């Protein structure tokens, strides 16, 4: 395997690790509960972070991909089978104040493709990164992106937005 392939495999993994939620032990401590199961065979599933964002234009129907920091290449993109969330197409959820709740994988280096979720899911095969790169709508579509430390509850998220995004929020763009 050449160095370029290794590089493109490590970037999405690194991004996931940097943006993942609290560990189970941290969550238990925050909830004032103790960790009683010390069984090393127990698997703890990480939940994706709660990300909300605003864009300059309406891109909610379009599939996001992740670009390199210099925006010269796609470093992460979904398979045609990976554009679903809870068994439906992963369109973001509309929130208050023009925000969207991410259901797919938005980050500060995300861009949107010319493919809608529906079009992308119906392709016969996942296009190669260079083909996807040629089909980018916008490389800098975001006005704001926030990572929230709350449950994935739209009522709670809308309250946070309406209160001015001052609590439980970390601005990432």
pLDDT in tens, 20-35: 443 333 434 344 433 4
End-to-end CA distance of the chain: 34
Domain ranges of the chain: 3-31+47-171
pLDDT in tens, 61-101: 999 999 999 999 999 999 999 999 888 999 999 999 999 99
Cβ atoms < 10 Å from Cβ of 59 = 21
| DSSP-derived secondary structure letter, 134 | T
Q: 67 by DSSP, 3-state: which?
A: strand
Q: pTM to 2 decimals?
A: 0.71
């Amino acid at each position: 395997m050449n160095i370029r392939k290794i590089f493109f495999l490590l970037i999405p993994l690194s991004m996931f690790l940097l943006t993942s939620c609290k560990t189970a032990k941290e969550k238990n401590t925050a909830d004032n509960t103790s960790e009683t199961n010390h069984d090393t065979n127990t698997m703890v599933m990480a939940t994706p972070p709660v990300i909300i964002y605003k864009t300059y234009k309406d891109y909610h129907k379009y599939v996001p991909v992740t670009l390199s920091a210099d925006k010269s290449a796609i470093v992460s993109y979904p398979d045609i089978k990976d554009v679903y969330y809870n068994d439906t197409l992963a369109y973001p959820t509309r929130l208050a104040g023009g925000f969207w709740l991410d259901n797919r994988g938005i980050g500060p280096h995300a861009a949107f493709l010319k493919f809608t979720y529906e079009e992308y899911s119906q392709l016969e095969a996942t296009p190669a990164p260079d083909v996807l790169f040629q089909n980018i709508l916008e490389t800098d579509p975001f006005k704001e992106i926030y990572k929230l430390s709350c449950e994935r509850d739209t009522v709670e998220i809308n309250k946070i937005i309406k209160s001015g995004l001052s609590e439980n929020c970390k601005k990432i763009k």
